[in-house]
Structure 1
Amino acid sequence: MTRPATDDEIRQIVTDYEQACERAMEERDTRLRAALDSGRRQADLVRVTGMSREAIRQALNPEVRAAVKARRQAARQGDS
C-alpha cells in the first residue's frame, strides 16, 4: 500500500502546474509575436486563434502581460 501524499507534495503539484502553464504561455506569446512580425495583423491573430482582443494585446506586449500578472497576484494576496 502506498503512503498518503504529504501537504507539501500536494502543494508542489499546484506549483508545478502553474510553472508549466507560465512556460506554455510564454512560448505561445513568443510565437504570436513572431506571427505578427511576419506580417500578420493583430485582427488576424484574434480571428484565427479565437482569443479575445485583450488576450492578444497582452500576449503581444510582455510589459502589459507582466502588469496584469502583478495585479492578479496582488489581488490573490489581498483575498488571503
Structure 2
Amino acid sequence: MPEPMSDSEIRQIIADYDDDLDKAMQRRDERLRAAIASGRRQADLVRITGMSREAIRQALNPEIREAVRVARAAKRAGQNRSVADE
C-alpha cells in the first residue's frame, strides 16, 4: 500500500490549481480586453460569452481582478487556519 500523502502535498494540489487558474484567467482577460480594443462593447461580451456583467468588468480591469484574487486568497487562508485550529 502506498504511503499516505502529507498535508503539505495535499495543500500543494490546491496551490497548483490556483496558479493554473490564475494563468488561464489572465490569458482570457487579455483576450477579452483585445475584443474591447477591436471595437466590441462590454454588452457584446456579456451576451456572447454568457459571463455576468461583473465578471466581464473584472476581466476588463486588471486592478479589480487583482483585488478580487487577493481577497479570495485571504479568505482561503482564513478558512485553512480555522480548520487547522480545530
Q: How does 1:1-80 map to 2 (within 5 A)?
A: 1-77=1-77, 80=82
Identity value in percent = 65
Cα displacement (A) at 1:19: 0.5
Give distance in 2, aligned partners of 1:26 and 1:37.
Answer: 16
| Per-residue deviation, 1:72 | 3.3
- Partner-residue secondary structure (3-state), 1:22: helix
Consecutive unaligned residues of structure 1, counting only runs of 5 or more, are none
SS in 2 for 1:5: coil
- Letter paired with 1:57: R
- The TM-score with structure 2 as length reference comes to 0.80
Moved over 6 A (4+): none
Count of residue pairs the alignment pairs up = 80
Code of the aligned partner of 1:10: I
* Structure 1 length-normalised TM: 0.86
After superposition, the CA RMSD in angstroms is 1.7
